[in-house]
């Protein structure tokens, strides 16, 4: 009986792991980044964090802030990318067909200017060596290209 209850509790906790992880990522942002995203995440409660993050305007603003961080070489852009991916997945749950599709380049992939933006200053690349911020499409139309190095 105790083992069954323990397993049920573990299953219930697993449901909350993604939101706990996302809040942990947000809290690990530097103070400047947390302050800059206050217009997106207006409250720190889990419910408020989710409801603010999944709004379409919030998704666009979060990605735009990630682009700014990538341009300045901040490692927080990688955390913003993780948050963006999380909120895109939540947003897409509410639709029969996903509205957002992430552009997810892989290391070693050929650089393609149709879906990639090179973020190495003054240097051209032919192969992706890293991803700073995934791009995205809305209903199949590319809105923002992936930022790569």
The answer to whether the CB of 63 falls within 8 A of the CB of 91 is: no
pLDDT reported for residue 115: 96
Helix (H, G, I), strand (E, B) or coil at 84: helix
**Distance separating alpha carbons of residues 2 and 100, to the nearest angstrom:** 43
**Distance separating alpha carbons of residues 132 and 33, to the nearest angstrom:** 16
pLDDT reported for residue 73: 92
Show the tokens assigned to 10: 């573990």
**Distance separating alpha carbons of residues 78 and 82, to the nearest angstrom:** 6
Q: Mind listing the pLDDT tens digit of every residue in the chain (149 residues)?
A: 888 888 888 888 888 899 999 999 999 999 999 999 999 998 878 899 999 999 999 999 999 999 999 999 999 999 999 999 999 999 999 999 999 999 999 999 999 999 999 998 888 899 999 999 999 999 999 999 999 99
pLDDT reported for residue 114: 95
């Amino acid at each position: 009986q105790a083992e069954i209850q323990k397993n049920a509790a573990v299953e219930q906790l697993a449901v909350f792991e993604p939101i706990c992880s996302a809040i942990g990522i947000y809290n690990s942002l530097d103070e400047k980044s947390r302050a800059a995203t206050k217009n997106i995440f207006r409250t720190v409660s889990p419910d408020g964090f989710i409801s603010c993050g999944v709004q379409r305007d919030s998704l666009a603003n979060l990605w735009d802030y990630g682009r700014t961080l990538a341009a300045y070489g901040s490692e927080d852009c990688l955390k913003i990318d993780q948050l963006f991916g999380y909120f895109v997945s939540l947003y897409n749950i509410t639709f029969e067909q996903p509205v957002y599709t992430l552009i997810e380049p892989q290391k070693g992939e050929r650089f393609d200017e149709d879906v990639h933006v090179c973020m190495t200053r003054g240097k051209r690349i032919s192969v992706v060596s890293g991803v700073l911020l995934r791009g995205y499409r809305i209903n199949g139309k590319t809105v923002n290209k992936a930022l790569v190095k």
